[in-house]
Amino acid sequence: MLTRVDHIGIACTDLNQAIQFHRNAYGFEVCYREINDEQGVDEAMLRINGTDDGHATYLQLLSPTRPNSPVGKFLASRGEGVHHIAFGTPDVDAAAAAFLDRGMRVLFTPPRPAAMGSRATFLHPSECGGVLVELVTHT
Amino acid sequence: MLTRVDHIGIACTDLNQAIQFHRNAYGFEVCYREINDEQGVDEAMLRINGTDDGHATYLQLLSPTRPNSPVGKFLASRGEGVHHIAFGTPDVDAAAAAFLDRGMRVLFTPPRPAAMGSRATFLHPSECGGVLVELVTHT
């Protein structure tokens, strides 16, 4: 059902500075940028490697466009660092339904539009060992 | 130089419980277990997907064997959750030297034995956007 690590979401205060650091230190390049007004986030995707399900693994750099956004609140309470991890699935609707069937909390039903034209939902960290888990399908 | 996301390290208080959760919720299976006495950690590797550099991406579940170990201290201060992310490289010695040349802190020089017969070192989170970064080469 979950066929890859799709991305690691990293919260940062200054997106351009974070992009520059990841380029200079690691050689990772931005392949996609987007502002998601609904989530209050300015984001950049950096492709790291291809995966054997025909997709890829990315770093997703996230900076808030407003302090009261989810990423803004995360930065205020935890500081910069890993915000969430995302698993790729061929069918995020079926995956969300399966987790609901197991009695787990699924944050967005139905899944919402996310980075690079994908659709995604989240599992709550209190039920996932302290990890905010995203489930994502690229269309 | 860095060719894949090798693994995501997740700190947990009870390793067997965490293994069971990851199997039941996500279908991920343990492919390797080890106690690293030097690091004071009991760990399990769960293979998620293959990568296009001929290796794979894993989750690494980590529980402390003693409270004053690095993972024990992390759990005491931050609670369960993502502890570090690891990038795979064909030559961890060369990668470590390159980061040292750029004036960055490299925690173990030379790199130390790590999971599954690998050798690894770390970059400090204060210089990497709040992320503890491991560099790893599988031999």
A7-18, pLDDT tens digit by residue?
Answer: 999 999 999 999
Distance CA A101, CA A79 (A): 34
Read off the DSSP letter of residue A129: T
Q: What is the CA radius of gyration of chain A?
A: 15
HSE at residue A49, side-chain half, CA atoms within 13 A, is 25
What is the model's pTM?
Answer: 0.97
Chain-centre distance of CA A81, in angstroms? Answer: 13
Nearest Cα of chain B lies from the Cα of A51 at a distance, in angstroms, of 5
Whether residue B75 is predicted with pLDDT greater than 90 in this model: the reply is: yes
What is the DSSP track for chain B?
A: ---EEEEEEEE-S-HHHHHHHHHHHH---EEEEEEETTTTEEEEEEEEEEBTTS-EEEEEEEEESSTTSHHHHHHHHH-SEEEEEEEE-S-HHHHHHHHHHTT--BSSSS-EE-GGG-EEEEE-GGGTTT--EEEEE--
Total domains, chain B: 1
CB contact under 8 A, A102 and B25: yes
Contacts of A85 in chain B (CB under 8 A): 8, 82
The rounded percent of chain B whose pLDDT value lies above 70 is 100
Cis status of the peptide bond prior to A110, with omega within 30 of 0: yes
Give the domain extent around A36: 4-138
Residue A25 forms contact with B (CB below 8 Å): yes
pLDDT in tens, A94-136: 999 999 999 999 999 999 999 899 999 999 999 999 999 999 9
Predicted pLDDT of residue A109: 94
Give me the pLDDT at residue A123, please. 98
**CB-based contact B5 A2, cutoff 8 Å:** no
pLDDT of residue A12: 98
The pLDDT score that the predictor gives to residue A38 is 87
- Are the Cβ atoms of A49 and B51 closer than 8 angstroms? yes
pLDDT level of residue B139 (50, 70, 90 thresholds): confident
* pLDDT at site A133: 98
Q: How do residues B37-63 score in pLDDT, each as one tens digit?
A: 989 999 999 999 999 999 999 999 999
In this complex, is the C-beta atom of A5 within 8 Å of any C-beta atom belonging to chain B?
yes
Q: State what percent of residues in chain A have pLDDT above 90.
A: 96
Least confident of A37-41, A61-65, B43-47, B97-101: A37-41
pLDDT at A4 over 90: yes
pLDDT bucket at A139, cuts 50 / 70 / 90? confident
Do the chains contact at A49 and B4, CB–CB below 8 Å?
A: yes
**ipTM for the whole complex:** 0.97
How much of chain A exceeds pLDDT 70, in percent? 100
Q: Is there a contact between B82 and A3 if contact means CB atoms under 8 Å apart?
A: no
For the segment A86-101, the average pLDDT, to the nearest whole number, is 97
CATH number of B83's domain? 3.10.180.10
Question: In A, which residues are within 8 Å of B4 by CB distance?
Answer: 48-49, 57
Mean pLDDT across chain A, nearest whole number?
A: 97
CA separation for the pair A137, B7 (Å, rounded): 21
Using the predicted structure, report yes or no on whether residue B100 has a pLDDT greater than 90: yes
